[in-house]
Amino acid sequence: MKSIDVCLTPDLLHLHKIENSIVVVTDIFRATSCMTTAFAHGVRSIIPVATVEECYDLQKKGFVAAAERNAQKVEGFDLDNSPFSYMDDRLIGADIAMTTTNGTLSITKAKAEAVKVLVGAFLNLGAVANYLKSQQYDVLVLCAGWKGRVNLEDSLFAGALVEALQNDYLVGEDSALIAQRMYGQAKADLMGYVASSSHVRRLQRLGIQKDISFCLQHDLYDVVPVLRGNTLVAM
Amino acid sequence: MKSIDVCLTPDLLHLHKIENSIVVVTDIFRATSCMTTAFAHGVRSIIPVATVEECYDLQKKGFVAAAERNAQKVEGFDLDNSPFSYMDDRLIGADIAMTTTNGTLSITKAKAEAVKVLVGAFLNLGAVANYLKSQQYDVLVLCAGWKGRVNLEDSLFAGALVEALQNDYLVGEDSALIAQRMYGQAKADLMGYVASSSHVRRLQRLGIQKDISFCLQHDLYDVVPVLRGNTLVAM
């Protein structure tokens, strides 16, 4: 039977064998929520890069460039890290280069070994779950966390995906159990559950409360971003 | 105000600044439960060592030696990793050298930087909490985990300690919130909650169910093991 496992932060990725796994990277606030929103609104491709410098180089080559550090837009770039910025008709068909504090780094870390790297968020939870059910591989949910640390919202997404897949996959590892039980405890009021998390407090200080409620919505979009080479595209 | 934080596995210890913290190492199944039991029954000192070789060297120097790997006693050593093995009148006043898969390694990792290293378990939860309340330092609960991975039982102990200290300490980080909420969900039936954990299944296969129920008892002992130099003693 296929198994599903959870890596609570990219700093623990070395503990996981992923040669036979599809890795689902999640960074709920806000990178993977933005990516999902972008593809749902017609963006053609997103190149996730680990550093601001790489992102700047791609901007010079003509990409629409999005760079975020510490939850704020880096000066000189075209787009910030709010999902609302990607609901823009001018971005239909666009090729974007993106770097964020945590999310894009996780994608670049996973791509060397995994069978496939997908982008997951609450916004496309059902679409990701349905795609995975059709595949024969194990699944690892890779939570982007915050600068190496575990966070609440990414762990909750991991738990939601474990719950969605529990009848089709073995759930054998404690990190997957922890995530699944957290989600079970939280799902009736996700917003209330994450209200005291460190990153929500960080985002609230920056005045982006509406991003938080947006990113916690389930199944708004039927799109599965997948990494092909170095580039994310809609499957 | 003092703060309490949780490191869910020693593989994430690099993310924590502990120069101003008392570190409470926990390895519920079973190293820190054994250590607590040992001191409560009159053992004089325990030297935790990271490797089987170091433990063997100390055995040759006259220490009572306990070595466990993969939940089983290493051949040639005096004691295994069951708390019941430490309820032995012949060990009153004894000096023990101990190495275990996870717990002793966490202690040796923390000792270089922390203000102080304590040993915590459900068995001495109240005693550890009371001691910490009397101190001015921040607290980091260091979960020993399993070979670098997060586990259920150590995270639950961390949550129990956060709950016990929440009125005296700031709880600001998501890992502490996660642990605290897990414990809140689990505490009415800890045994049921951990029954599906990977390590409980591992221990059950080895036939040591009674160790599991023993290690989940709260406040059986009023003893706080503390590291002095390289040696644990009862405070």
Give the whole-angstrom CA distance, residue A200 versus residue A166: 28
> Are the C-beta atoms of A153 and A197 separated by less than 8 Å?
yes
- What is the rounded distance in angstroms from the CA atom of residue A98 to the CA atom of residue A49? 6
* pLDDT reported for residue B78: 95
Nearest Cα residue to A190 out of A215, A165, A166: A215
* Interface residue of B142, B151, B178, B201 to substitute, partner A, most A CBs within 10 Å: B178
Q: List Cβ neighbours of B161 (8 Å cut-off, separation of 6 or more).
A: B4, B24, B120, B125, B128, B129, B139, B141
Q: Taking CB atoms and an 8 Å limit, are B150 and A178 in contact across chains?
A: yes
Residue type, A210: K
Closest-CA distance, A64 to chain B, in angstroms, reads: 33
Report chain B residues whose CB lies below 8 A from the CB of A155: 174, 178
Task: Give the pLDDT of chain A (235 residues) as one tens digit per residue.
Answer: 999 999 999 999 999 999 999 999 999 999 999 999 999 999 999 999 989 999 999 999 999 999 988 888 999 999 999 999 999 999 999 999 999 888 888 898 899 899 999 999 999 999 999 999 999 999 999 999 999 999 999 999 999 999 999 999 999 899 999 999 999 999 999 999 998 777 777 777 776 788 999 999 999 999 999 999 999 999 9
Q: Do A198 and B9 touch (CB under 8 A)?
A: no
Burial class (CB in 10 A: 0-12, 13-18, 19+), B114: buried
| Two tokens, residue B112 | 């270089």
Which residues in chain B are closer than 8 Å to A173, comparing Cβ atoms?
A: 149, 198
Point out the residue among A15, A149, A172 whose CB comes nearest to the CB of B175. A149
Please determine, for the modelled complex, whether the ipTM score is greater than 0.90. yes
Closest-CA residue of B relative to A199 is B174
Q: CB of B175 within 8 Å of any CB in chain A?
A: yes
Residues of A in contact with B146 (CB under 8 A): 174
- Non-local (6+) Cβ contacts of B24 within 8 A are B117, B118, B119, B120, B128, B132, B139, B140, B141, B142, B161
Tell which B residues from 3 to 42 touch A, by Cβ distance under 8 Å: 8-9, 11-12, 14-15
Residue A159: which of A218, A209, A103, A114 has the closest Cα?
A: A218
Contact B15 A173 (CB under 8 A): no
What is the CATH superfamily name and number for domain A4-229? ComB-like (3.90.1560.10)
User: Are A174 and B11 in contact (CB < 8 Å)?
Assistant: no
The residue among B150, B171, B197, B199 with the most chain A CBs within 10 A of its CB, best to mutate, is B150
Percent of chain A with pLDDT over 70: 99
A173 touching B (Cβ < 8 Å)? yes
Contact A41, A123 (CB under 8 A): no
Sheet-wide strand order for B45-48: B4-7, B138-143, B21-26, B116-120, B225-228, B231-234, B45-48, B95-99, B64-69, B72-73
Q: Which CATH architecture has domain B4-228?
A: Alpha-Beta Complex (3.90)
User: Using the beta-carbon criterion (under 8 Å), do B174 and A150 form an inter-chain contact?
Assistant: yes
Contacting residues of A for B172, CB less than 8 Å apart: 198
Residue indicated by tokens 């591989």:
A137
CB within 8 Å of A124: residues ≥ 6 apart? A36, A40, A219, A220, A221, A222, A223, A224, A225
| Lookup result for tokens 């990793």 | B81
Taking contacts as CB-CB distances below 8 angstroms, the residues of chain B near A195 are none
pLDDT digits (tens), chain B, 235 positions: 999 999 999 999 999 999 999 999 999 999 999 999 999 999 999 999 989 999 999 999 999 999 988 888 999 999 999 999 999 999 999 999 999 888 888 898 899 899 999 999 999 999 999 999 999 999 999 999 999 999 999 999 999 999 999 999 999 899 999 999 999 999 999 999 998 777 777 777 776 789 999 999 999 999 999 999 999 999 9
Tell me what pLDDT residue B108 has: 86
Write down the domain spans for chain A.
4-229
Supply the pLDDT for residue B205: 73
